Amino acid sequence: MDWEIREAVPEDAPCIAAGVEELLGEIMTATGQPHFHFDREATRARTADWLRAGTYRSFLARKEREVGPLGLINVTEAHALYAGGAFGLVPEFYVRPEWRSQGVGRELLNAVRRLGREREWGRLELTTPPLPAFERTYAFYEREGLTVAGGRKMKLAL
Q: What is the pLDDT of residues 48-78, one digit of tens each?
A: 999 999 999 999 999 887 777 899 999 999 9
pTM: 0.94
CATH of domain 4-143: 3.40.630.30
Q: Which long-range contacts (CB under 8 A, 24 or more apart) does 73-77 make?
A: 73/108, 73/109, 73/111, 73/112, 74/16, 74/20, 75/112, 75/115, 75/116, 75/124, 76/50, 77/119, 77/121
Strands ordered across the beta sheet of 124-126: 4-7, 57-62, 71-80, 85-95, 124-126
Pairing of strands 71-80, 85-95: antiparallel
| pLDDT tens, position by position, 14-56 | 999 999 999 999 999 999 988 899 999 999 999 999 999 999 9
